[in-house]
């Protein structure tokens, strides 16, 4: 295709789709969606999604930038990969959902106090301190034998879950993270910083 | 049995001080019995699981896993990487595949890795321990080593999501994988082959951030086990195990149910069937005691 033709096509293209293609993980796949709806029927927490994946893809093509990026929906993705193994067009839906959530957060458009966004941030920040998450204490089987389990149980006993639960978790999390870490933590941190720089440098500006 | 060696990515469930971890301890016991030697990847780091994405975007995440693979390639040469945690396996394998497909991303990851003095070749297979049991060793061999068949125990095999999707075990269906049931059968126990929630998601990390929504799903997973008259649930996944076992009290409170069903690992089943003690099989690590397994272990 000649450069002029390409430019003509770009011009008619909805810019939010271009933006997603450029800046969202696996975003170039969005246009491959054929709107069959299989993914939407696959999300375990589907009834809580205001816009299930199929609809999100449609909205991206319709240029509904704010509605998509401020949506709570993709934060309900449990990374179960049901959609991925079922999609007849083999879209990496899980990663697109993650990518949209990450991108929205980067732009400051993610819903405030979204519990999964906050949990993810605690998780990541703590991991970056030592290079490892003490997931045993965070979430895996036998941390119940020590104090952390009691902490979680305490917060669970609280009928008012939701944000209170989140708060308790954050306290518990920061209290119990650590102990084990990567020896070359300096190297890990430099490596991640570099990776972030490289990625940021290839982001395109839209608005 | 011939000795097998793997480069081991333990993930966070193996860290010292976690000696009470029933997964890790029973995997150690199982590996002794199956003559598997696991060589830990020196100085491995967390892969950030399926939740890191919201703060760590694509390249940083891929680089985290790339570091582990690079360390393995440097120190545990020519050994396949094995993980016991579904999320670890998935993140590592996914990173390896992504960096294979995308040359510029591969170059970028190596550019970042250079900051830590490492270089990724990316030609190492990434396996889940379940693949080692099912594919490398095979159920025939497993069956042949059983000393104490798990007779009279009915087990709902809960495969969960990430052990099963998107990679899973070669030749198995995503919607109705049979390998866990087959494993249970080859140990002499009775598999609930019509356990319809075997690949139902438990909410994963959202069990922390969205407890109400997740617990509703977990309720279904447990209810179906009871409906299938299971004595216990068995799973390969550490987060599944935790999510399905620990919230039973909460679910009982919330929904007026009376759940109290043990949730064990396949490695605990193998350890007991191979004649090891309840403590070697880490059965003392259950919140809800697996009495029927304890009885066989102490026979
Ligand atoms: S399953 Fe695939 S093709 Fe169908 S709507 Fe979802 S993303 Fe589109
Ligand atoms: S991975 Fe996410 S988007 Fe896909 S079915 Fe599961 S919850 Fe839905
Ligand atoms: S996936 Fe979980 S267990 Fe594995 S390294 Fe990451 S945090 Fe640890
Ligand atoms: S079943 Fe639950 S813990 Fe297991 S992989 Fe799926 S979401 Fe994760």
Q: Which residues of B189-205 are buried (b: 16+ CB within 10 A; e: fewer)?
A: bbbbeebebbbbbbbbb
Phi, psi of B144 (to 5 degrees): -65, -25
The helix or strand, by DSSP H or E, that contains position A199, with its residue range, turns out to be helix A185-201
Asked whether residue A205 is assigned to any structural domain, the reply reads no
Q: Which residue has the higher pLDDT, A146 or B232?
A: B232
Q: What is the pLDDT of residue A163?
A: 34
| Residue B118 to residue A196: CA distance in whole angstroms | 17
- Select from A80, A139, A141 the Cβ nearest to the Cβ of B208: A139
The kind and range of the H/E element at B83 are: strand B81-83
Q: Is residue A81 domain-resident?
A: yes
Ranges A6-10, B6-10, B210-214: which has the least confidence: A6-10
Task: Select from A58, A93, A111 the last residue of a domain.
Answer: A111
Q: Where are the alpha helices (DSSP H) in B35-162?
A: 58-75, 86-101, 103-114, 129-131, 139-144
- Is the model's pLDDT at B42 over the cut of 70? yes
Report pLDDT digits (tens) over B57-95.
889 999 999 999 999 999 999 999 999 988 899 999 999
**In the structure, what pLDDT confidence band is assigned to residue B209 with cuts at 50, 70 and 90?**
confident
For residue B12, which atom of ligand 3 is closest to its CA? 8
Last residue of a domain, one of A111, A141, A168: A111
Tokens 């070697």 correspond to: B280
B262 confidence band (pLDDT: 50, 70, 90): very high
The pLDDT assigned to B284 comes to 86
CA A136 to CA A141: how far, in whole Å?
7
CA pair distance A90, B73, nearest whole angstrom: 31
Query: Among the three residues A111, A139, A172, which one is the final residue of a domain in this structure?
Result: A111
Same domain, A105 and A125: no
For chain A, what is the domain count? 2
Same domain assignment for residues A120 and A107: no
A207 is a domain residue: no
User: Can you give the residue range of the structural domain that contains A152?
Assistant: 115-200
Are the Cβ atoms of B13 and A123 closer than 8 angstroms? no
SS3 B265: strand
| Residue carrying the six token digits 């770009």 | A10
Q: Which of B13, B220, B239 to mutate to test the pocket of ligand 4 (most atoms within 8 A of CB)?
A: B239
A52 and A92 housed in the same domain: yes
ipTM here: 0.91
pLDDT of residue A165: 28
The pLDDT confidence band at residue B143, using thresholds 50, 70 and 90, is: very high
The pTM assigned to this predicted structure is 0.87
Given this model, what pLDDT does residue A126 score?
74
What architecture (CATH level 2) is domain B4-129? Answer: Up-down Bundle (1.20)
Residue B174: count other Cβ atoms within 10 Å of its Cβ. 18
Contact partners, residue B256, CB within 8 Å, separation at least 6: none
A83 and A126 assigned to the same domain: no
pLDDT band at B260 (very low <50, low <70, confident <90, very high): very high
On whether residue A36 sits in a domain, the answer given is yes
Same structural domain, A85 and A20: yes
Are the beta carbons of B86 and B160 closer than 8 angstroms?
yes
> What is the pLDDT, as a whole number, of residue A167?
33
Whether pLDDT at B16 is above 50: no
Name every chain A residue with its beta carbon within 8 A of the beta carbon of B161: 78-82
Q: How confident is the model at residue B14 (pLDDT cuts 50, 70, 90)?
A: low
Task: Answer yes or no: do A168 and A99 share one domain.
Answer: no
Contact criterion met (CB below 8 Å) for B37 and B55: no
User: Which is nearest to A76 in space by CA: A111, A108, A124?
Assistant: A111
A25 and A124 inside one domain:
no
Residue A206: inside a domain, yes or no? no
Ligand nearest to the CA of B206: 4
Residue spans of chain A under pLDDT 50: 136-137, 139-178
Query: Do A17 and A35 belong to one domain?
Result: yes
Q: Is A105 found in the same domain as A124?
A: no
CATH C-level class of B143-297: alpha beta
- Indicate the range of B9-23, B183-197, B198-212, B275-289 predicted with least confidence: B9-23
In the sheet where B36-40 sits, what is the strand order? B36-40, B4-9, B81-83, B126-128
- Shared domain check, A105 and A20: yes
Is residue A18 located within the same domain as residue A106? yes
pLDDT for res A173: 35
Which of B9, B57, B176 would best serve as a mutation to test chain A binding (most A beta carbons within 10 A)? B57
Per-chain mean pLDDT for chain B = 92
Q: For the ranges A42-56, A138-152, B115-129, B262-276, which has the lowest average pLDDT?
A: A138-152
- Given ligand 3 and candidates B46, B89, B161, B243, which is best to mutate, with the most ligand atoms within 8 Å of its CB? B46
Residue A147 lies in a domain: yes
CATH number of the domain enclosing A50: 1.10.1060.10
Q: Is the CB of A44 under 6 A from ligand 4?
A: no
What is the pLDDT confidence band of residue B104, given thresholds at 50, 70 and 90? very high
Judged by average pLDDT, the poorest of A36-40, A116-120, B18-22, B278-282 is: B18-22
Q: Does residue A27 sit in the same domain as residue A91?
A: yes
């Amino acid at each position: 295709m000649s450069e002029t033709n390409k430019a003509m096509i770009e011009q008619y293209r909805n810019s939010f789709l271009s933006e997603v293609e450029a800046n969202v993980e696996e975003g170039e796949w969005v246009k491959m969606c054929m709107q069959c709806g299989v993914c939407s029927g696959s999300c375990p927490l589907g009834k809580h999604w205001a816009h299930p994946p199929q609809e999100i893809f449609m909205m991206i093509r319709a240029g509904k930038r704010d509605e998509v990026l401020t949506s709570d929906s993709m934060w309900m993705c449990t990374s179960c990969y049901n959609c991925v193994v079922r999609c007849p067009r083999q879209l990496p839906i899980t990663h697109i959902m993650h990518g949209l959530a990450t991108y929205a957060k980067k732009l400051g458009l993610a819903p405030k106090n979204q519990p999964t966004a906050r949990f993810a941030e605690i998780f990541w920040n703590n991991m970056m301190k030592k290079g490892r998450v003490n997931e045993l204490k965070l979430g895996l089987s036998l941390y119940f034998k020590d104090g952390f389990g009691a902490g979680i149980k305490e917060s669970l006993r609280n009928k008012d879950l939701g944000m209170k639960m989140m708060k308790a978790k954050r306290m518990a999390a920061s209290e119990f993270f650590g102990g084990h870490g990567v020896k070359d933590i300096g190297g890990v941190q430099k490596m991640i910083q570099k990776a972030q720089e490289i990625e940021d440098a290839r982001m395109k500006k839209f608005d | 049995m011939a000795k097998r060696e793997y480069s081991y990515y333990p993930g966070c469930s193996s860290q010292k001080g976690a000696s009470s971890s029933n997964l890790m301890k029973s995997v150690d016991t199982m590996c002794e019995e199956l003559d598997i030697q696991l060589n830990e990847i020196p100085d491995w780091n967390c892969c950030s699981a399926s939740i890191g994405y919201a703060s760590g975007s694509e390249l940083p995440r891929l680089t985290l896993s790339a570091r582990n693979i690079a360390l393995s390639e440097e120190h545990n040469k020519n050994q396949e990487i094995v993980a016991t945690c579904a999320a670890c396996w998935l993140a590592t394998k996914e990173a390896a595949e992504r960096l294979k497909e995308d040359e510029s991303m591969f170059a970028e990851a190596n550019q970042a890795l250079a900051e830590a003095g490492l270089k990724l070749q990316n030609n190492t297979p990434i396996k889940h321990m379940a693949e080692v049991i099912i594919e490398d060793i095979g159920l025939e061999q497993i069956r042949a080593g059983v000393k104490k068949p798990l007779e009279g125990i009915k087990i709902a095999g809960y495969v969960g999501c990430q052990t099963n999707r998107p990679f899973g075990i070669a030749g198995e269906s995503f919607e109705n994988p049979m390998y866990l049931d087959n494993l249970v059968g080859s140990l002499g126990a009775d598999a609930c082959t019509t356990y319809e929630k075997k690949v139902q998601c438990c909410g994963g990390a959202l069990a922390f951030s969205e407890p109400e929504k997740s617990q509703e799903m977990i309720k279904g997973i447990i209810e179906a086990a009871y409906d299938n008259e299971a004595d216990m649930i068995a799973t390969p996944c550490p987060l599944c195990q935790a999510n399905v076992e620990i919230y039973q009290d909460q679910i009982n409170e919330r929904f007026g149910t009376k759940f109290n069903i043990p949730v064990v690992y396949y490695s605990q089943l193998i350890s007991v069937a191979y004649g090891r003690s309840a403590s070697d099989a880490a059965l003392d690590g259950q919140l809800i005691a697996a009495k029927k397994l304890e009885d066989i272990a102490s026979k």
